[in-house]
Structure 1
Amino acid sequence: MIKLILFGTQGCHLCEQAEEMLNSYLADNNDIEIESIDIAEQTQWQERYAIRIPVLLHEASGSELCWPFDRLDVERLVAMISGKYDGKR
Structure 2
Amino acid sequence: MPPSLTLIQRDDCHLCDQAWDVMAAAGVPDFDPLWIDDDLGLQARYGERIPVLRREDSGAELDWPFDVDRLRAFLA
Q: TM-score, normalised by structure 2?
A: 0.85
TM-superposed deviation, 1:23: 2.1
1:41 alignment partner in structure 2: 38
Aligned counterpart for 1:53 among listed residues 39, 50, 54: 50
1:13 alignment partner in structure 2: 14
In structure 2, C-alpha distance between the alignment counterparts of 1:67 and 1:47, rounded to whole Å: 17
For structure 1, the residue ranges without an aligned partner over 5 or more in a row are 80-89
Q: How many residues align?
A: 75
One-letter amino acid of the structure 2 residue matched with residue 14 of structure 1? L
Which protein has greater RCO, CA pairs closer than 8 Å, 6+ apart?
2
* Larger Cα-atom Rg: 1
SS at match of 2:26: helix
SS at match of 2:31: strand
SS at match of 1:76: helix
Question: Residues 23, 76 of structure 1: CA spacing in aligned structure 2 closer, same or farther, 3 A cutoff?
Answer: same
| Identity score, percent | 37
For structure 2, the residue ranges without an aligned partner over 5 or more in a row are none
